Amino acid sequence: MNLSIKKQGLLIVISGPSGAGKGTICKALIEKEKDLKLSISATTRQPRAGEVDGKNYFFKSEEEFKRMIEEDAFLEWAKVYDHYYGTPKEFVLKNLEEGNDVVLEIDIQGALKVKEKFPEGVFIFILPPSMEELRNRIKKRGTESEEEIIKRFKSAYEELNYVSKYNYVVINDDVDRAVEKIRAIIIAEKCRVDRNKDLYLKIREESV
């Protein structure tokens, strides 16, 4: 009996305040789950030391970014801390269509926009273990000015209110543990009845 049914991939949105550790978690997740496709965002912010164009981000001028908005090239875009960030649409739609699971690591404004278009996506909110730890993490990064750090901390504090819009919350007290929780969420989501209607209808048909 052949039960292979081509299904759309899962759209996994990993979001939460700056400093919660989304980036580290996503990197570790992709290393464990090689089949997941991580979307690379476009941004107008300057590359940080060690960041590579086309790997960490597609670094764009404001003019290029605005052209992409006009061309409707983004699934979502947002202005985060004075810079533009956006998810290129084509990569995401193509992979989902081909049945690949796609991960977006984006801010909360972006996640809410994606939720409007893809309510069937899996929305995971990453929480820092404490506000003190969050402040330390934002500071430790050392790439932002004092003013920028205060701005990020304040908005992170307000952003915690949005957790109720998400399907899951994962506390990032330990990266490996957080990654294991996300892997468990993905497995559970793939087993949901509403994602497997075709499969069980097929099994039922073939057994009579």
Q: Which residue is nearest to ligand 5GP (CB)?
A: 110
Q: Is 18 annotated as a binding residue?
A: yes
Angle at 49 between CA 44 and CA 51, to 5 degrees: 60
The answer to the question of whether 28 is labelled as a binding residue is: no
Number of H helices, E strands in the chain: 8, 9
Q: For the CB of residue 83, give the shortest distance to ligand 5GP in the complex, in Å.
A: 7
- C-alpha closest to that of 115 among 11, 197, 29, 7: 11
Minimal distance in Å, beta carbon 203 to ligand 5GP?
39
CA-to-CA separations, 75 to 79, 86, 88, 118, in angstroms, rounded: 14, 7, 6, 10
Per the annotation, does 17 bind a ligand? yes
Q: Does 137 bind ligand 5GP (CB under 6 A)?
A: no
Residue 155 in contact with ligand 5GP, rule: CB under 6 A: no
DSSP 144: S
Q: Does the annotation place 121 within a ligand binding site?
A: no
- Report whether 22 belongs to an annotated binding site: yes
Pairing of strands 11-15, 102-105: parallel
Specify burial of residue 40 (Cβ count, 10 A radius: 0-12, 13-18, 19+): middle
- Is residue 110 part of the contact set for ligand 5GP (CB under 6 A)? yes
User: Which of the stretches 78-86, 90-98, 130-138, 185-193 binds ligand 5GP when contact is defined by CB under 6 A?
Assistant: 78-86
Binding site feature residues for ATP: 16-23
Interacting residues with ligand 5GP (CB under 6 A): 18, 22, 41, 45, 76, 78, 80, 85-87, 105-107, 109-110
